[in-house]
């Protein structure tokens, strides 16, 4: 047990050399004598510190769990639970172990001092003490803790940045792998078909036409890939400035069917269109890209000889553009990744055609740029329906 006179044994102005008051910090003082708590609390408050006081070790541990202080001034000799045990429990708790503890005690034995440091205390002040010295140490350890906390914050930020950079690097590697695979595949097919055309002397006209159609399909794919890559980069950088104009919807699907004519004819797809003549308030180029990408997706996943339905219908202040196919459908798991750039889905195209996973992400971004939206309805094994909602002109 300590004596009240220990705290003020050497009278001194506690605010000496502290004309600039520190930013408010919370300090917990622990002592079994109310007089000691009162004296220390008074001095600390004069220095603009917030103060919590505990008259026992158990009370101190309870307070720390409720509100974490920036520093603890801890007496050693207390009944029931001494300061050493309090410090031991504090340092065993991951939530509060980093709070600096300064022992204040009349015990000056070297063994006691070493025990305090071994338990994790940052400093040891013996009584009677000079108040200016104690408060200088308090401020020093608060500054050290603030620096340590700042360093920890920076470390967490660096970890987050590092994680994001790793993710971006993985995305870049996956993207390069996908694009390089598709480029090699497309050009490899073109080269192989070209060799057949040039080296085969007795080829029938129908066979030659079919091979030339294959070349055209590969060329269409490469053009679409290049356009999508340029579009998604520009949109994500907010470099796309979309117009607001009246856009007729019937020509949008006419344009899309023309763009994918060779691939759709090669599969013998049957298109059925229903358009109520509604007009969209949007950008013509963006609307064309949306229609083209939706139709491209339907053509890729449609089985030969199947149907594709194209529908335009006004609904309140929106225009709904719908593309429905009879493909393999999309699982619930894949639907979560539909609009993520470069996502590879479990569903396979009807003839294992190329699919980089950019078309639907382009559709989503462009819809959002025109205050619209896109959603998918599908049951695995029963085709897919994509609906774009855009503002009505």
Strand partners, 26: 50
Nearest to 309 by CA among 262, 265, 271: 271
What are the start and end residues of each CATH 3.40.50.2300 domain in the chain?
A: 4-155
Least confident of 98-112, 182-196, 279-293: 182-196
Residue 134's SS3 state is helix
162-189: pLDDT as tens digits:
988 888 777 666 656 556 655 665 676 6
Give the mean pLDDT of the chain. Answer: 79
**Gyration radius (Cα) of the chain, Å:** 37
Range 132-152 average pLDDT: 87
When pLDDT is cut at 50, 70 and 90, the band that residue 22 belongs to is very low
Q: Decide: 315 and 330 in contact? Cβ < 8 Å.
A: no
Interatomic CA distance for residues 390 and 322, integer angstroms: 11
- Cβ-based neighbours of 211, under 8 Å, separated by 6 or more: 193, 196, 197
pLDDT at 23: 52
Q: Which of 231, 209, 360 lies closest to 293 in space, CA to CA?
A: 360
The pLDDT of residue 319: 92
Which has the higher per-residue pLDDT, 194 or 225? 194
**pLDDT average, residue stretch 258-283:** 85
Task: Show the tokens assigned to 22.
Answer: 């520190």
Distance CA 100, CA 122 (A): 6
Residue 287: its pLDDT value, please? 86
d(CA 245, CA 49): 63
What pLDDT band is residue 8 in, cutting at 50, 70 and 90? very low
Q: With 90 as the cut, is the pLDDT of residue 28 above it?
A: yes
Please, which residues have CB within 8 angstroms of residue 51's CB and are 6 or more apart in sequence?
26, 27, 28, 29, 40, 41, 44, 45
Which is it for strands 123-126 and 71-74: parallel, antiparallel or unpaired?
Answer: unpaired
- Both structure tokens of 49: 């510190």
Lowest mean pLDDT among 191-200, 222-231, 309-318, 342-351: 342-351
Residues 264 and 271 sit within 8 Å (Cβ to Cβ):
yes
Q: Residue 370's pLDDT is what?
A: 87
Query: Can you name the CATH fold of 4-155?
Result: Rossmann fold (3.40.50)
Q: Which CATH architecture has domain 242-391?
A: 2-Layer Sandwich (3.30)
Residue 357: both structure tokens together:
């996973």
> How much is the average pLDDT of 123-127?
83
Q: In the predicted model, is pLDDT for residue 366 greater than 70?
A: yes
Every domain range in the chain assigned CATH 3.30.565.10: 242-391
Q: Rounded to an integer, what distance in angstroms lies between the CA atom of residue 301 and that of residue 352?
A: 9
Q: What is the pTM of this model?
A: 0.47
Give me the pLDDT at residue 214, please: 72
pLDDT, position 15: 41
């Amino acid at each position: 047990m300590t004596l009240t006179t220990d705290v003020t044994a050497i009278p001194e102005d506690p605010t000496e050399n502290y004309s600039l008051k520190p930013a408010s910090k919370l300090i917990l003082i622990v002592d079994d004598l109310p007089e000691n708590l009162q004296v220390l609390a008074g001095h600390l408050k004069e220095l603009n510190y917030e103060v919590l006081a505990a008259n026992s070790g158990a009370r101190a541990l309870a307070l720390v769990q409720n509100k974490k202080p920036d520093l603890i001034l801890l007496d050693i000799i207390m009944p029931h639970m001494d300061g050493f045990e309090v410090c031991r429990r504090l340092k065993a708790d991951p939530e509060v172990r980093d709070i600096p503890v300064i022992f204040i005690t009349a015990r000056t034995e070297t063994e006691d001092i070493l025990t305090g440091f071994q338990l994790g205390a940052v400093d040891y002040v013996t009584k009677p003490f000079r108040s200016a010295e104690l408060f200088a140490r308090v401020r020093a350890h608060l500054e050290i803790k603030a620096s340590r906390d700042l360093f920890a914050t920076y470390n967490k930020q660096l970890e987050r940045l590092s994680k994001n950079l790793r993710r971006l690097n993985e995305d870049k590697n996956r993207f390069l792998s996908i694009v390089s695979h598709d480029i090699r595949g497309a050009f490899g097919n073109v080269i192989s078909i070209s060799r057949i055309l040039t080296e085969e002397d007795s080829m029938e006209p129908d066979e030659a036409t079919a091979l030339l159609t294959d070349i055209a399909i590969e060329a269409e794919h490469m053009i679409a890939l290049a356009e999508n890559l340029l579009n998604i980069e520009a949109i994500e950088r907010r470099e796309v400035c979309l117009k607001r104009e009246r856009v007729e919807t019937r020509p949008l699907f006419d344009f899309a069917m023309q763009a994918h004519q060779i691939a759709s004819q090669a599969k013998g797809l049957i298109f059925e269109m229903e358009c109520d003549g509604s007009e969209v308030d949007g950008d013509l180029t963006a609307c064309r890209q949306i229609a083209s990408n939706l139709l491209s997706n339907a053509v890729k996943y449609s089985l030969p000889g199947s149907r594709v339905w194209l529908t335009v219908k006004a609904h309140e202040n929106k225009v709904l553009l719908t593309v429905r196919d009879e493909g393999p459908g999309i699982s619930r798991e894949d639907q979560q990744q539909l609009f993520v750039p470069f996502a590879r889905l479990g569903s396979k195209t009807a003839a294992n055609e190329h699919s980089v996973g950019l078309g639907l992400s382009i559709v989503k971004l462009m819809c959002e740029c025109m205050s619209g939206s896109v959603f998918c309805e599908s049951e695995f094994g029963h085709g897919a329906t994509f609906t774009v909602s855009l503002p009505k002109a």
